[in-house]
Amino acid sequence: MRDFITPLSPEACVLYNFTREGAVDEDRPALPTSDPTCFAVDGLDDGDRHERPRKKHKFYQWSKLRIMSRELITSWSDYQSAIDRILALAARQVWIYDEDLAMLRLETPERIDALTTHLVSQQADSLRIALRNSEPLQQRQPLIGRLLTVYSHNCAAQQTPDHLAHLRDSLILVDDAHALIRFDRNQPRGKLLIDEPDEVMPYRRRFSEIWAEGGTPVSPTTLGL
C-alpha cells in the first residue's frame, strides 16, 4: 500500500481527475473509477469537513489516500510477472491452491527466496500448499520439497481429496490483503488484488474450507527426503 497526499475538494467531490458521487466522507471509500487503481479516503485533516463552504471560491482540504490495485491478467507473461509481484509482498503468510504448481514455476532461486523470507516467523500456517495433484511436487520439485522439510514447523502441503478433483481454479493468497486468482488451470486469465482485504477475504475462506477437507499430506517421506 502506498500513501500520498492530494488536494480534496468537498464541494466538487473531485480528486483531481477522479470523480465520485455523494459527499466526501472519511468513513466511506471513494468509488472505483474506470482506472484499475481504486482510491479510498483514509482521513481528513479538517474537523469541519462536513460544513458547507460559505463562499463559492475553490475550497480544498487535504486527504491521505490509499492506492488499492485490481488488475486483470490476460496472458501467461502477465501471470508470471504477477506471481513475482505478489510474493514480494509476503510478510507473514502465503497460501497456495493449484493443480500441481507447474504453471506457478516456483522452482527458481528467486521465488524460493521470496517464499523463504516470511518463514522465519513462528506463525504455524506461514506456508500452506493445497494441490489437486501432488505427484510433480513429490518427484520433480526438489526446492519446494526442501523448503517444506526445513520449515516443517510452519509449512504444510497436501493433496486434496478426490471429490474436489473437478475444481479448476488457482489461488495465491498473501497475508490477508493480496491475492492472485487464476480462473482455470489451462488459461492465464485471472486477476491480481493488492491491498484489497475485503475482496480477498472470500478467497481466504474458500481456501480454509478446501484445506479443512483434508486429503493426503505431502511429508518428507513422500517427498523422498
pLDDT tens digit sequence for 33-76:
334 444 444 444 444 544 444 433 333 333 333 456 899 999 99
What pLDDT sits at residue 111? 95
Q: Report how far residue 85's alpha carbon sits from residue 78's, in angstroms, rounded to the nearest whole number.
A: 10
Q: Report how far residue 187's alpha carbon sits from residue 74's, in angstroms, rounded to the nearest whole number.
A: 9
Tell me: pLDDT of 161 over 60.
Answer: yes
What pLDDT sits at residue 119? 83
What pLDDT sits at residue 223? 56
Residue ranges of the chain assigned to CATH 3.30.870.10: 74-217
Burial class (CB in 10 A: 0-12, 13-18, 19+), 33: middle
Average pLDDT over residues 106-130: 89
Average pLDDT over residues 106-123: 87
> Looking at domain 74-217, which CATH architecture does it have?
2-Layer Sandwich (3.30)
Q: What is the DSSP letter of 9?
A: B
Higher pLDDT, 78 or 46: 78
Higher pLDDT, 28 or 160: 160
DSSP string, 173-222: EETTTEEEEES-TT---EEEEES-HHHHHHHHHHHHHHHHT--EE--TTT
What pLDDT sits at residue 78? 96
The residue behind cell 490476460 is 74
Q: Report how far residue 174's alpha carbon sits from residue 128's, in angstroms, rounded to the nearest whole number.
A: 11
Q: Report how far residue 11's alpha carbon sits from residue 23's, in angstroms, rounded to the nearest whole number.
A: 8
pLDDT band at 199 (very low <50, low <70, confident <90, very high): very high
Mean pLDDT (the chain, rounded): 77
pLDDT band at 175 (very low <50, low <70, confident <90, very high): very high
Kindly state the cell numbers that stand for 63. Answer: 486527504
**Which residues, other chains included, contact 114 with Cβ-Cβ below 8 Å and sequence gap of 6+?**
84, 87, 88, 90
